[in-house]
Amino acid sequence: MTFSKEGISLACEDTSCSVVMQCWKFDTEEVFKKYMGSRVKNRLLDAEGTAEFVSHYDSIATTGFAENGLKDVFIRDLPKQDWRIGEALAECLLEDTGDIRFPWNGCRDQKVEDASLPGADLVGFKGKDRNVRFLFGEVKTSVDANKPPNVMYGRSGMTKQLEKLKTSESSRKLLVQWLGYRAKDKAWDNDYKTAVLAYVSCVDKVYLQGVLIRDCSPVIKDLESRGHSLDSGKPSDMGIGLCGIYCLCSISDFPALLGGVSLS
C-alpha cells in the first residue's frame, strides 16, 4: 500500500555543516492518524511478506481451512511498545520523504515477543543507480520534554550509537553481512551489489541516519548540537543525516492508532 507524500512537510532544517538536519511534521492530525493506521500498520504487519509466504506454500493447502491456517501462521500481531512502532514510523517516513528504502522488514527476524535485535535499528539503502549506498541508523522515540531530549545523549543515546557506526568498521561489516544473506535472489539484489562494491572500494562509503520521534512542536534545536558533534571527524566519503519526526498525537496513543481506535 502506497501513501501520498502530501500532508507531510519539512518544518525546519539546519544546513550549517555537512550533517543533514531536518525536522518533519504532519500537516493535520487526520493525516497523521491515517498514516499510522495504514502505512505504518502495514509495515508492522509485514503485509507483503505474509502474502509472499502464503503464496509460496499454498500448494500444501488442500482446503480453505488449511489456507486460512497458513495465513494465521504468518500474520503478525501488532506491537504495543512505542519504540517498536516508532522504528516502523521512521522507516516509512524516510522512504516517503527521501531517496531511501528498507527492502528487508526487520519484523521477520523477531524470534520471541518483546525481543530487541542486536545491531542498528535501520538497515537499508540510500541513492539510485550507481550511487546506491548502505544506510545504517538508529531510532529514538521520546516523551522527554527537554530540548534536546535525554535520548540524544549518554552511553545508550543516539549520538553515541551513531558515533560507533561512524568509527567502527567491524560494526558496519556485520550489518553488510546481515543484509547480504537476505539479498540473495531478491529483486533488490542489484542494489546490494552496487552498495557492497562501493563499500569494498572504501569502507566509509555508507550513509548513517539518526531519527528522533517526538510528540511536540518541531524544533531544530533537538538536532543541531548533535549534528555538529557527528560532523567532527566525519570521513569525507561518509554521509550522515539526523531527522526529527514530530507527531500530532501522544506517543502513548501509538498502539491505539494502529488498531484504528478513536482517541478522545
pLDDT value at residue 50: 63
- Of the candidates 238, 228, 229, 222, the one whose C-alpha atom is nearest the C-alpha of residue 22 is 222
Q: Which residue has the higher pLDDT, 215 or 74?
A: 215
pLDDT value at residue 191: 98
pLDDT at 264 over 50: no
Alpha helices (H) in 146-211, listed in sequence order: 158-167, 169-183, 189-201
Residue boundaries of the structural domains of the chain: 9-44+80-258
Residues 6+ apart with CB under 8 A from 69: 61
Rounded Cα distance, 157 and 79, in Å: 23
pLDDT value at residue 73: 66
Predicted TM-score (pTM) of this structure:
0.88
DSSP state at residue 60:
G
pLDDT value at residue 106: 80
Q: Which CATH number fits domain 9-44+80-258: 3.40.91, 3.30.1400, 3.40.50, 2.60.40?
A: 3.40.91
Residue type for 87, please? E
Q: What is the mean pLDDT of residues 82-94?
A: 96
Rounded Cα distance, 244 and 24, in Å: 6
- Which pLDDT band, with edges at 50, 70 and 90, does 119 fall under? confident
pLDDT value at residue 46: 84
- Residues 127-184: pLDDT tens digits? 999 999 999 999 999 999 999 999 999 988 999 999 999 999 999 999 999 999 999 9
CB 152 within 8 A of CB 158: yes
